[in-house]
Amino acid sequence: MAKVKKAPRPKAQAPKGFRDYFGAEVTQRNEMLQKIAGVYHRYGFDALESSAVETVEALGKFLPDVDRPNEGVFAWQEDETADWLALRYDLTAPLARVYAENRNELPTPYRRYAMGPVWRNEKPGPGRFRQFYQCDADTVGAGSVAADAEICAMLSDTLEVVGIERGDYIVRVNNRKVLNGVMEVCGIAGDDKEAERGIVLRAIDKLDRLGEDGVRALLGEGRKDESGDYTKGAGLSADQAEIVMGFMSAKRSSGAETAARLSELVQGSAIGEAGVQELLTIAELLEAQGYGPDRIEIDPSVVRGLGYYTGPVFEAELTFEIEDEKGRPRNFGSVAGGGRYDDLVKRFTGQEVPATGVSIGVDRLLAALQMKGRLESHSAGPVVVTVMDKNRMADYQAMVAELRSAGIRAEVYLGNPKNFGNQLKYADKRNSPIAIIEGGDEKENGVIQIKDLILGAKIAESATLEEWKDRPSQYEVPRGDLVVKVREILESQG
């Protein structure tokens, strides 16, 4: 009789481009989300939680560097309806659908913030995952650039609230209308030049990575990278390319000087000149609120990759240095971006609805704070009540109930209590600050032992015998003093 072949066991590993998050990481992210939400709420934005799944039709063709609506997203076709569905790739496209669907009930303008994971079916790399968290805030229904200025101010405040000090970041502002004016001057403004404009946008967006020579090559015939891969260029002439390069180098020492230089570049283009005026207005509004160029500046090199931006665009860059995987110093880079997208809701309603917003990459922001040493790498675990007699579990459960009622995180050891050393090893793995011990003798005498695990670890590392005597890490206290003594020790630990 043939031997039945066993089915292979599944591999215990996360899919490529995805990862798992444990205790301290989840806690740190939640704390950051609360801080960001606090700023958004203070600015008058309301929370919105939209579906993680949208129709491909609703998401639209707005992913960077793609030509098909379902490219770059995780999509599937329903059997019953034959509709294509996809996981959201950002939080803005779903907002457009939500607003269009509920616009009669929502206030105008509608100010909302949203937080949650998004998914992109892109090639993963170091620090680049297919699932990541975003925090968005958007104003829908306000055509004034005062809404864009407010978003920039709020982004600046948010970075400082989460721990990025002033001087370690800059919010850079540009305007797609100015860039459209430059392209008009270059002669690539018509519908038949859409492909060339897309290449120009992506080329400018890569300035910090490729440098001027790399961008210039992409504006022309194309570029071959170190691996030999060839990227087709926009096919601009040398004169056209110089106009674009002049746009990217138009930044001056003040916003007014930069705007004056941009005006020269877009002379004769109505949309370009309108964009320059909007940048001047934004700069004036921010200055009136106390946001100077040390925090927010006009920078023509900012274009943003997504195709739905129609006006002001902004990007928050962290300016401090880190080391890359080869040990070379480099700036940390962008952690947030956004802009105006007046045509996005129009896809659903047929009517133009002005909108502007920003998205913060939470995982990158957390990584930045970690590198700056502004995040604790370990979060405190629970107080662990050890089990000396498994027949007295009710006594131990009563202890944790008292601690929890007092607002103290606590748990009873629920593993095999036979080996007491293993219980302390468990507490150590949980990063527990305190262990509670009540054996038979302690129960009979109405006392408990409270072990300060943090102090005990420090003493064990470097203490002399005298220090052991002067600074005890274990205390015997009356059973009734459980909560008082635990709280005292926790406060001493900070």
pLDDT single digits (tens) 1-37: 567 778 888 999 999 999 999 888 898 999 999 999 9
Helix pair 23-42, 362-371: axis angle to 10 deg: 110
Cα angle: 279, vertex 280, 285; to 5 degrees: 100
424 phi, psi to nearest 5 deg: -70, -35
Contact indicator for 230, 224 with CB cutoff of 8 Å: yes
Question: What are the distances in angstroms from CA 77 to CA 15, 57, 72, 121?
Answer: 21, 12, 15, 16
320 burial (CB, 10 Å; 0-12 / 13-18 / 19+) is middle
Report residue 226's pLDDT band, with 50, 70 and 90 as the boundaries. Answer: confident
pLDDT, position 326: 66
The encoded tokens of residue 83 equal: 């509709």
Dihedral Cα 127, 128, 129, 134, nearest 10 deg: 100
pLDDT, position 461: 64
Q: Which of 118, 494, 62, 476 is nearest to 308 (CA)?
A: 62
Q: Report the pLDDT averaged over residues 215-244.
A: 83
Could you report the per-residue pLDDT of 478-490, keeping only the tens digit for each?
Answer: 999 999 999 999 9
Report residue 405's pLDDT band, with 50, 70 and 90 as the boundaries. Answer: very high
Report residue 367's pLDDT band, with 50, 70 and 90 as the boundaries. Answer: confident
Could you report the per-residue pLDDT of 65-113, keeping only the tens digit for each?
Answer: 554 445 788 988 888 888 889 999 999 999 999 999 999 999 999 999 9
Give ranges for CATH 3.40.50.800 in the chain.
383-493
Question: What long-range pairs does 283-290 form, CB within 8 A, spacing at least 24?
Answer: 283/173, 283/255, 283/256, 283/259, 285/145, 285/146, 285/149, 286/149, 286/152, 286/153, 289/149, 289/153
User: Which of the residue ranges 54-68, 290-304, 393-407, 430-444 would you say has the lowest mean pLDDT?
Assistant: 54-68
Report residue 288's pLDDT band, with 50, 70 and 90 as the boundaries. Answer: very high
Query: For 383-493, which CATH superfamily applies?
Result: Anticodon-binding domain (3.40.50.800)
Could you report the per-residue pLDDT of 168-189, keeping only the tens digit for each?
Answer: 999 999 999 998 898 888 888 7
338 burial (CB, 10 Å; 0-12 / 13-18 / 19+) is buried
Length of the chain as a residue count = 494
Is residue 369 scored above 80 in pLDDT?
yes
Element (H, E) at 99: helix 92-102
Q: Report the pLDDT averaged over residues 150-175.
A: 96
Contact indicator for 171, 314 with CB cutoff of 8 Å: yes
The encoded tokens of residue 382 equal: 């629970």
Of the two residues 454 and 285, the one the predictor is more confident about is 285
Is residue 305 scored above 80 in pLDDT?
no
Amino acid letter, 456: G
Contact indicator for 402, 162 with CB cutoff of 8 Å: no
Give ranges for CATH 3.30.930.10 in the chain.
23-188+236-371
* β-strands 383-385, 222-224 pairing: unpaired
What mean pLDDT, rounded, does the chain reach? Answer: 88
Reported CATH class of domain 23-188+236-371: alpha beta
According to DSSP, the residues that pair with 156 across neighbouring strands are: none
